């Protein structure tokens, strides 16, 4: 359950970044890589 919670938190973070908040001009590809890296390393 702890892993699922951390993945959901990362999804929320990526969602906010995709809307331009605190993203430092990250494109979609970089956001997806960040998300997948988090999911597969948890």
* pLDDT tens per residue, range 1-42: 898 999 999 999 989 888 888 767 778 898 899 899 988 987
**DSSP string for the chain:** -HHHHHHHHHHHHHHHHHTTSS-SS--HHHHHHHHHHHHHH-
pLDDT of residue 28: 85
31 token code pair: 């956001």
Is the pTM higher than 0.85? The answer reads: no
């Amino acid at each position: 359950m702890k892993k699922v919670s951390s993945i959901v938190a990362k999804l929320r973070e990526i969602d906010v970044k995709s809307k331009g908040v605190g993203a430092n001009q990250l494109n979609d590809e970089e956001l997806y890589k960040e998300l997948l890296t988090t999911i597969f390393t948890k």
